[in-house]
């Protein structure tokens, strides 16, 4: 078996996945954007051709939702065209391609957690670009795994967004003593360390196709924020507001929680509840 290549290795999920592979003794090459820009197709073909991986995990994406509205060409280049090129390269190398997608491929109108078989209907440029990436991959290379996930937070934080929601809430809570958080958008908060474990379990079990991998359950962003401060023992006043309080260009799904309905086909259990994962994460020494 050849090595594993992790693209986007400096991000939240990529760094936690590389940490997991290191602990498991899996030979891998972590490639951050500074090492390899996935939009430079010639460079990608050359590097992967030299490394000859048996598995490529694409954690790289352009996921700043508002900026995707302002830069749709960039969103499509990173989240769709680069995935198309990766699929063609992996087909040539006969390598499994694991690609990370999002809950934002859905419009949030279902009113209950989305399963893998539900039809997609994105509301914004980010979601549209991620759907396009999924479609390219399915059409070009059957040896793939698409992992949809939601509400990520991890040790590294999101470089594009200047941290993640947990980091932002903790910072604002310390600085201001109060925060305003929306109650009318629901998600499945997911710790990237748990996601990395779940993703790799699907790989080892021989899974193919699309899987939803999230920590169990769902909540509103307001409930998420309340749990963060409660678990940290911080006396912060959390004000519930609607999405209109934070006007933006991008439409967001009101209910984009995911359900991991296919893991049982592989004999795998869903990830632990989001509250348990969050409590574990916040107890760590590397939380800012």
Q: Which residues are catalytic?
A: 126
Q: Degrees (nearest 5) of the Cα angle 47, 201, 37?
A: 25
List beta partners, residue 210.
146
Instruction: Choose among 148, 133, 130: nearest CA to 63.
Output: 130
* DSSP, residue by residue, 128-183: HHHHHHHHHHHHH-SSEEEEEE-SEE-SS--TTTTS-HHHHHHHHHHHHSEEEEES
Give the pair of three-digit tokens for residue 169.
Answer: 């809430």
Residue 258 phi, psi (nearest 5): -115, 155
Our separate counts of H helices and E strands in the chain read 10, 12
Give the pair of three-digit tokens for residue 44.
Answer: 């990608």
Instruction: Choose among 221, 198, 194: nearest CA to 211.
Output: 198
């Amino acid at each position: 078996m050849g090595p594993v290549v992790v693209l986007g290795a400096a991000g939240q999920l990529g760094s936690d996945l590389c940490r997991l592979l290191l602990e498991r003794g899996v030979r891998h090459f972590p490639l951050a954007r500074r090492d390899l820009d996935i939009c430079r197709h010639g460079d990608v073909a050359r590097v992967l051709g030299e490394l000859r991986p048996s598995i490529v995990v694409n954690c790289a994406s352009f996921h700043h939702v508002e900026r995707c509205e302002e830069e749709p060409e960039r969103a499509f280049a990173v989240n769709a065209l680069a995935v198309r090129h990766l699929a063609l390269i992996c087909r040539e190398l006969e390598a499994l391609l694991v690609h990370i997608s999002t809950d934002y491929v859905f419009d949030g109108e279902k009113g209950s957690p989305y399963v893998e078989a539900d039809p997609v209907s994105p509301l914004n440029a980010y979601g549209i670009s991620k759907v396009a990436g999924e479609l390219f991959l399915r059409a070009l290379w059957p040896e793939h795994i698409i992992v949809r996930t939601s509400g990520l937070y991890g040790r590294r934080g999101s470089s594009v967004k200047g941290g993640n929601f947990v980091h932002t809430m903790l910072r604002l809570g310390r600085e201001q003593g109060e925060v305003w958080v929306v109650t009318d958008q629901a998600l499945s908060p997911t710790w990237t360390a748990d996601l990395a474990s779940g993703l790799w379990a699907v790989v080892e079990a021989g899974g193919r196709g699309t899987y939803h991998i999230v920590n169990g359950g769902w909540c509103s962003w307001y409930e998420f924020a309340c749990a963060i401060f409660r678990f940290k023992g911080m006396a912060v006043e959390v004000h519930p507001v609607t999405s209109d309080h934070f006007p933006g260009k991008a439409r967001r799904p009101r209910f984009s929680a995911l359900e991991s309905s296919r893991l049982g086909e592989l004999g795998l259990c869903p990830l632990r509840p989001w509250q348990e994962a969050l409590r574990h994460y916040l107890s760590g020494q590397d939380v800012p």
